[in-house]
Structure 1
Amino acid sequence: MSARYLSKRPFSTFGLIFAFLFSSLVNASNSTQEFWPGTKYDPSIPTVKSVLGYETGERISNYNGMLRYFEALEQAAPDRIKIFEYARSWEGRKLIYAAIAKPDTLAKLEQFAIDMQKLADPRVTNRKQANKIIESLPASVWLEYSVHGNEISGTDSAMKLAYHLLAAPTETVNQKILDNTIVFIDPLQNPDGRDRFTSRYYAQVGLHPSYDRISAEHNEPWPRGRTNHYLFDMNRDWLAVTQPETKGRIDSLNKYKPLVVVDVHEMGGDQSYYFAPAAEPFNPFMTKTQIENMNIIGRNHAKHFDRFGFDYFTREIFDAFYPGYGDSWPTFYGASASTYEVGSARGEVFKKKTGQLYTYRDSVHQQFVASVSTAEGASDNRKKLLTDFYQYQVNAIEAGEKDKKERVYILPNKTDKAGTFRLATLMAQHGVEVTRADKAFKACGKSYQAGAYVLDTAQPRGRFLKTTFTQQVNMDADFIKEQERRRARKLNDEIYDVTGWSLPLMFNIETDTCGKSVKVSGTPVKADDQLIGTVNNPDASVAFIVPWGDMAAGRFLTSALQQGLTIKSADKAFKIDNQKSYPAGSLIIESRTNSKNLAQTVATIAKETGAIVDGVDTSWVTEGPSFGSGNTVTMKAPKIAIAWDTPTSSLSAGNTRFVIERQFNYPVTAIRTRQLARADLSDYQVVILPNGFYQQTLGKSGAKNLEAWVKKGGVLITFSGATRFAADKEIGLLDVKRENAFKDKPSKKSKQDNKKSTVEGTLYTEKSDLVAASENAQEKPDFVAGVLANIEVDQEHWLTAGINKDVVGLVYGNDIYTPIQLKSGKNLAWFKGPKEVLASGYLWQENKRQLAYKPYLIHQPKGKGMVIAYTQEPTVRAYLDGLNVMLMNSIFRATAHAQ
């Protein structure tokens, strides 16, 4: 395994001894075991070594190596493998999937997709027709690898699987698979992240690869290879679908609707192998049949893992509750899906706590065996899987028809037209049928105008619609009871991810429900529909006004600023000549301060951004501030810096940069955090500190540098952990404090003198006295895995212009802050009361009480500038679209108000 390193330099006696010992230790593992014993391979099919120069598992293949190898396989066996490009990463790398089947099956791949679409809709395919399709239709399995770029074994196991199927078609298991199954392989879901990992890993390797977990090889620098270019955890992007890689995968899965989908991952190197059955809780909109099918395949794995002597476990972690994972999203079109996790070598060799040397080849081997077993399980259960798939669609439609409370969701599309359009097209991207009303209509006694969107749950994707639009999806009662028991015992809870994800709430979109079918004349919404803006009175002589409050207006602003237009923004609502009212924040583009081709420029920007623009022939304002008032400010094109590198959270930094650059369409400069401590920031108007731990890297000197810059007119924006840094009493950038947990009954503590080895005796009369005495005196609030919370917004401040009175944000962690006092600043958004604060998810009762009426958005002026602090992250996963206008105000309106 390490020979290629040893050959680079002469052997010393010590080198020979070390090489012998190293080889002996490695060979003590499973590294010499055949991948599939007894298999004879066709020499006409190229091996990894013949193409890339090393054996499978001997080296970590990079993106280019993976692509070269799959192209070589296609060239060698074009009748049995076809490669398709499904997306391009942000860095320009193409993503592929391969379809492998026997020649006559592969030749009919497009017909297979058509037949699966027929099977997926019982409204056009009755049971008799479905049974006829099922008799001849092959099974299908979709294996997706390495969505986290530093979970490395998946890609090489995918390459080995493709070779194994093509080079040994008559091997007993392979013959069974290829006889009735199409195997889809997505070998590398995150090419940008993988190349980040592999290039850094091999830059660290010395004479021999190190097995030491504290070595540089096993400790990646910031940002790790887990994430893509914009530092997204793409396994959490299946709900908001913000990244091109995710969009391409969803389109491909929606085309073929494979019956079994497996997302192949890695976990800590000291662990063994995990596969289905999954841990509790399960999403209640998944079916027992789907779960049972994955259990059947899990049993098949156990058979093979026992044969190879591989350790494994099931059920203990990795639940199936959140619908936005790569293994959960497919279940909502009817697939049976699961996650696999192997202990990671995170390099070529890793020393486990047991002392075992665990090689990269070991991890690749286990992934390969699980992959073959999955395909075999699909083959063995072909007819059952197809029948269950059809029945899933039947049941989904029937469930929608029987729902007498929330059968139909209606998006009135009256206020936030850009946000509503984004939500409607997003659901179409997911494969949900969405109709845009062509005419006015009535539903459940309420009238709606043309342009409203209608989503009926009585459709094949009805369960996905329910789980993403239902305000509250409950975890199993027994699971919750167990979590409360664990919490009472001061044990960590077993909640794996966020428990609230209602898309209408996160988008802050008005949504109505109706308990019966709605008849409406309309147009089907498509994922690639474009929001087209308009200009009313395009020949206006005085000005153009853009109503503020949605992202179409926001993108109009960023485009106009970058094109050099002079723009004002009103701090308060106003009315023009007793005719039309405009909300606070509305943009005013005056003809007198802009070039002669203003009308054409405004029309072009409106069309591109989807903004609605009104031309006006008078500046006579009858209510609110006039165009020349001190309550209108001139907008600036700020230069924005964002803290980058350690100690920022890469996810927070990447998500925030993505929101500003790709959703706001405005450039951001990344500056390494350590440079912010001493750099001259006078060229920047805005500095954003994402979530992170800044005390050591910035410290007091960094805080002083930032404070001096703020006082000269800078806008400092802090999120979550950065707000914790700013509020630290040693730092002093923000005049609030983080709270300890509130206790109804103070702890019964003995008076202790730490200098003495004994204390005064006490009497405990019940067990609760012991529990109380055991608690920490300054305990933090209980940790929250992630819920959606209701937030109330101050409507009388320029920073909240155009923002709804009520919005929803995500609460994660255990940070709760005191309100800022009026002498220092103002609380501009705060969590609602204890009975209203929870919008969706599961929140501990104590946190409900303590979070109530505590600040979410804080504004503190400092000299000519200001600090704007978010106590949580408004950009998390880029799926809180309903908070985007708030963030835009924090950047652009704040810059306009800085002196």
Structure 2
Amino acid sequence: MYKITFAAISLVFCLRLNSQELQSPSAFLGYELGTRFTPHHRVVDYYEYLAKTAKDRMHLMEYGKTYEYRPLYLAFISSSSNMKNLEEIRKTHIANTEGKEESTKAIVWMSYNVHGNESVSTEASMQTIFDLLTSKSNYLENTVVIMDPCINPDGRERYVNWYNQHKNTPFETDPNSKEHHEGWWSGRSNHYMFDLNRDWAWLTQKESQQRLPHYQKWLPHIHVDFHEQGVDSPYYFAPAAEPFHEVITDFQREFQITIGKNHAKYFDAKGWFYFTKERFDLFYPSYGDTYPMYSGGIGMTYEQGGSGRAGLGVLTSNGDTLTLKDRIAHHYTTGMSTVEVASNNIATLNSEIRKFYMPKNFQYNSYVLSGNKDQIRKLTSLIKKHQIEYSHSRQTTAKGFNYSTGKTGNHKVEENSIVINTRQKKSTLVKVLFEPNAVLSDSLTYDITAWSLPYAYGLNAIATNAILEGDESGPVETESSSLNTNAYAYVTDWNGMDDARFLTELMQNKFRVRSARQKFVLQGKSYNPGTLIITKGDNEHISDLGLALNQLAKKHFKNLEAVATGFVDSGKDFGSEYVKLLTAPKIAILGGEPTSTLRFGEIWHFLEQDLKYPMTVLDSDYFSEVNLETYDILILPDGDSYGNFLDSTTQKKIDRWVKLGGKLLAMGSSLETLAEEDWIALCTKTKVKDSTSIIPETYRNIAREEMKDEITGAIFKVLIDNTHPMAFGYDNLYFTLKEGNSAYEFLDEGTVAYIADQNKPVSGFAGSNAQREMANTLIYGVQERGDGAIIYMVDNPLFRGFWENGKLFFVNSLFMLE
């Protein structure tokens, strides 16, 4: 008995000694936290030190790497007894969400530094985890805390390095000083300039793709996303602002208030300013607060004033000095308060998350989707990552809402359709991602108001209130047989991104490829415009052409038809001028001011990661020195103040290059400047004024009145001239995501995609004035000029990388236009 007691006392003494010896961030780093920004590798060093020193209470896991090869980590912390049973706690928690077991623990996940130049949160995370392991360890008796100390290491390092290069010594609080003014490429975004806080649902970026499986594995009760906002803004915490999506439960709303009141208690005691219920809503599904909400948790954004402007200290507009130490204290306080509330509400959290996952009866209980196999494959790949279940339809007809026609009735179900119903665990997420038009309780929103995946992927869809069942196995994918090596040519369709990647790999490997300009029939089979043709005569330099093509076809899910002749049954023969030999263009993209980093990044990521095609970045700083004749295509991304860049000298340079055969692809706001010039065929549409009232608006109502002129990310039906090469691979109907109210007249020649007189959005918010202005306006078009062309993209087909059905317009603009 004495030996057992002595051993127990010794163990307690060692644990206490270990806790006392655990170094604070300041002690470990060698400087007081908040007096400088900590490089990412030193943050990693500290977390590794804690994991080694307090290994009974902490586990550190590397879950991936960024595009720039920096490690991504999750830290799991709890009491020593909980950590010994961590996997059992997780399994019990998941079983609780399925109504199988009852959990007695809370799971809190805290995400830091999703925006790299909102850099305080990673600093705060170090103090938070230290205190949770020491002075606040009582919170961990019934709580597991998961911490991601830096979601965006690439962006954070970009900011920290920039700040260290430009700051004064000591730091300068004057907001006009250089250290408070980042350049064009700020630290906010990741390597490809994507906003990772808008990528939770779409998973276009490596960081998001690697993080989500672990989030799905745990489904935490609470998720906090730590942010920063403008220097002069007080701290923001929950409850959020309207609009709330209708699927958010009463409990989720109420518990946000519970957490907010607990934060307020601490902020009030310190005399710190804060606000709630403003600006940051809970609607768009791809945020770090909304996605957790739609996954059953309590998702929250915490916003500290500061961001990339604040540095180590800055004067605010009211004359106060905001320091990094202040910012750390605020984020530390809300983080600790969050864990405290979770620890004090174990039973409620577990009861309510179990209720969240109980069966629900939504307006639409099944979604039937069919269409392009490439798009179906891409969509099912996405929803699998969200653990959304689907099956293959057995139905021949379904009664419901047709997305393309906007009508309700009986509709034929196409062969090989997939069915996604709401009789599954992720039913709420299914509704949010697939519903035709989300209910909007307030027009003043923080982000886009429409995103329905059937529209985004260009699929035929029916939403029905019936619970449709399907075949889990689905249709059997037929393997493409070995190609006839004696064929005259090999032919394949053109209607999706698999086709585009197949083409670009062929080009990279020096295959010569032709494209049909018109529909043709050969060997009894019909082929649409855009069809790819690889002839033996063009590719005599390729040994074993059939074998080489077969390998690439399998890689890109392509079926090739071997044909014995170029003499078609109807249409144009393979030697006709209407069967164009495609060339691999040299592509350049304008970077720097005045382009938007986000819009530039979408193109960069699309070409490098999605299309696997090379490009050259031409920065605006030295654009005047570049010989444009080196390039076949120049892309002007959306941005701001293009008038400063497109001065008369630059315009003459670009116009001369276009006339010689160059293709200018102008997107978004670059069109506003170009439309003013006489060498451009594009004309801005005259604004339509609302003349129903001449009574001046009250000051309070001005913002809402202004919304009559706005479009906040709404989906519009678009008609297409699919005989035009820019629209090869499309039917005559398309749905565009319109981010703003820019409106242009049809081109006299070359209008490819346009909104007709049906100018009401099919989904999302558009003000009454803006709707009228959208009638009979251009979406995409091409102006021939000299031997070249100007391609107009009013709407962005690459928006946030998730508008899959727009990508082929972009590809066609690069490869299919003569």
**TM-score greater than 0.5 by the shorter chain:** yes
1:330 lines up with 2:296 in the alignment: no
Match of 2:767 in 1: 844
Aligned to 2:207: 245
The yes-or-no answer on 1:864 pairing with 2:811 is no
How far the C-alpha of 1:799 sits from its partner, in A, is 2.4
CA contact (8 A) 1:144 1:186 kept: yes
Once the 2 structures are TM-superposed, how far is the Cα of residue 294 of structure 1 from its aligned partner? 1.6
Partners of 2:53 and 2:782 in 1: CA distance: 64
**Deviation by residue 1:745-790 (Cα, 9 ceiling, x = unmatched):** 59xxxxxxxxxxxxxxxxxxx963899xxx9xxx998232221111
Residue of 430, 443, 447 corresponding to 1:465: 430
- The structural deviation recorded for 1:339 is 0.6
**How far is the alpha carbon of 1:612 from its aligned partner?**
2.5
Preserved CA contact (<8 Å) 1:434 1:524: no
Q: Which residue of 1 aligns with 2:69?
A: 92
Q: Give the root-mean-square deviation of aligned CA atoms.
A: 2.4
1:515 to 465, 471, 474: 465
- Out of 302-311 and 635-644, give the one that drifted further: 302-311
| 507-516 or 557-566, which deviates more | 507-516
Counterpart in the other structure of 1:295: 257
Choose the corresponding residue for 1:609, options 556, 573, 577. 556
Letter in 1 for 2:643: Q
Classify the secondary structure of the residue corresponding to 1:398. Answer: coil
Count residues with an aligned counterpart: 782
Write the mapping of 1:206-245 to structure 2, written as runs, cut at 5 A.
206-245=168-207
Report the alpha carbon displacement of residue 504 of structure 1 after superposing the two structures with TM: 1.0
Aligned mates of 1:463, 1:411 — CA distance in 2: 18
Residue by residue over 1:234-274, the C-alpha shift from the partner in whole angstroms, topping out at 9 and shown as x without a partner, is 11112211001111221111001110011110011111111
Question: Given that residues 602 and 799 in structure 2 are in contact (C-alpha distance below 8 angstroms), is that contact kept between their aligned partners in structure 1?
Answer: yes
Aligned residue number for residue 751 of structure 2: 827
Normalised by the length of structure 2, the TM-score is 0.92
- Seen in structure 2, the aligned counterparts of structure 1 residues 736 and 386 have a Cα distance that, compared at 3 Å, is same
Structure 1 runs of 4+ off > 6 angstroms?
439-442, 530-533
Counterpart CA distance in 2 for 1:164 and 1:638 is: 57
Give the distance between the partners of 2:227 and 2:460, measured in 1 at CA: 38
SS of 1:261's equivalent?
strand
> What is aligned with 1:407?
365
Asked if 1:59 is matched to 2:36, the reply is yes
Partner of 1:814 in structure 2?
A: 741
1:320 corresponds, among 266, 272, 282, to 282
Shift of 1:514: 3.5
Amino acid at match of 1:810: L
Aligned AA for 1:430?
Answer: H
The alpha carbon displacement at 1:113 in A equals: 2.4
Kept after mapping to 1: 8 A contact 2:690/2:769: no
| Aligned amino acid, residue 667 of structure 1 | P
Query: Residue type of the partner of 2:88?
Result: Q
CA distance in 2, matches of 1:543, 1:188: 53
Correspondence for 2:648? 700
Find the aligned partners of 1:260 and 1:697 in 2 and give their Cα distance.
47
Bigger shift: residues 691-700 or 510-519: 510-519
- The one-letter amino acid of 2:375's match is G
Aligned to 1:710: 658
CA contact (8 A) 2:419 2:469 kept: no
Amino acid at match of 2:36: R
CA contact (8 A) 2:483 2:547 kept: no
Deviations 1:335-355 (A, max 9, x none): 111111011163100111111
AA partner of residue 679 (structure 1): V
Q: Which ranges in structure 1 are unaligned for 5 or more consecutive residues?
A: 1-38, 481-493, 747-765
Residues 494-545 of structure 1: CA distance to partner in whole angstroms, max 9, x if unpaired? 32111111111011111223432323221499xxxx9998357454611111
How much does 1:116 deviate? 2.5
Structure 2 CA distance for aligned equivalents of residues 228 and 495 of structure 1: 25
Aligned mate of 1:572, from 499, 518, 540: 518
Measure how far apart 1:733 and its partner are.
Answer: 4.6
CA offset digits 1:718-743 (Å, max 9, x no partner): 101111222123xx452222234213
SS at match of 2:357: helix
Q: Is the 1:540–1:616 contact (alpha carbons within 8 Å) kept by the matching residues of 2?
A: no
Establish whether residue 498 from structure 1 lines up as the match of residue 473 from structure 2: no
- Return the offset for 1:878: 1.1
Who is 2:373 aligned against?
Answer: 417
Q: Does 1:880 align with 2:803?
A: yes
Q: Does 1:643 align with 2:599?
A: no
Judge conservation of contact 1:237–1:243 (CA < 8 Å) in 2: yes
Q: Which residue of 2 aligns with 1:159?
A: 126
SS at match of 2:274: coil
What corresponds to 1:750 in structure 2? none
- Residue 694 and residue 533 in structure 1: after superposition, are their counterparts in 2 closer, same or farther (change >3 A)? farther
Q: 1:296 and 1:714 mapped to 2: Cα distance?
A: 60
**Secondary structure in 1 aligned to 2:279?**
coil
Alignment map for 1:596-745 (pairs within 5 Å): 596-692=543-639, 693-729=641-677, 732-743=678-689, 745=691
CA deviation after TM superposition for structure 1 residue 64, in Å? 1.0
Which residue number in structure 1 is paired with residue 273 of structure 2?
311
The secondary structure found in structure 2 opposite 1:890 is helix
Cα distance change of structure 1 residues 538 and 376 upon mapping to structure 2, 3 Å threshold: farther
Which of 84, 88, 92 is equivalent to 1:115? 92
What residue is the counterpart of 1:30 in the other structure? Answer: none
Partner of 1:203: 165
Q: Confirm or deny: 8 A CA contact 2:520 2:528 kept in the other structure.
A: yes
Q: Normalization by structure 1: what TM-score?
A: 0.84
Amino acid at match of 1:677: S
| Alpha-carbon distance in 2 for matches of 1:769, 1:561 | 61
Asked whether 1:387 is paired with 2:351, we answer: yes
* Residue aligned with 1:622, SS: coil
What percentage of aligned pairs have identical amino acids? 30
Query: Residues 819 and 794 from structure 1, CA distance in 2 versus in 1: closer, same or farther, beyond 3 angstroms?
Result: same
Deviation at 1:66, TM superposition (A): 1.2
Query: Does 2:512 match 1:588?
Result: no
1:483 counterpart residue number: none
Contact 1:572-1:798 within 8 A present in 2 as well? no
Q: 1:147 to 1:858 in 2, by over 3 A?
A: same
Partner in structure 2 of residue 14 of structure 1? none
Change (3 A) 1:667 1:365: same
3-state secondary structure, aligned to 2:21: coil
Give the structure 2 partner of residue 139 of structure 1. 106
For the 8 Å contact 2:493–2:532, the answer to whether it is kept is: yes
3-state secondary structure, aligned to 1:612: coil
Three-state SS of the structure 2 residue aligned to 1:83 is: strand
Q: Distance in 2 between matches of 1:769 and 1:613?
A: 65
CA distance in 1, matches of 2:256, 2:568: 66
Does the CA contact (< 8 Å) of 1:56 and 1:361 recur in 2?
yes
Q: Supply the AA of the counterpart residue of 1:278.
A: A
Q: Are the equivalent residues in 1 in contact too, given 2:416–2:474 (CA < 8 A)? A: no
Q: Secondary structure at the match of 2:537?
A: helix
Q: 1:41 to 1:887 in 2, by over 3 A?
A: same
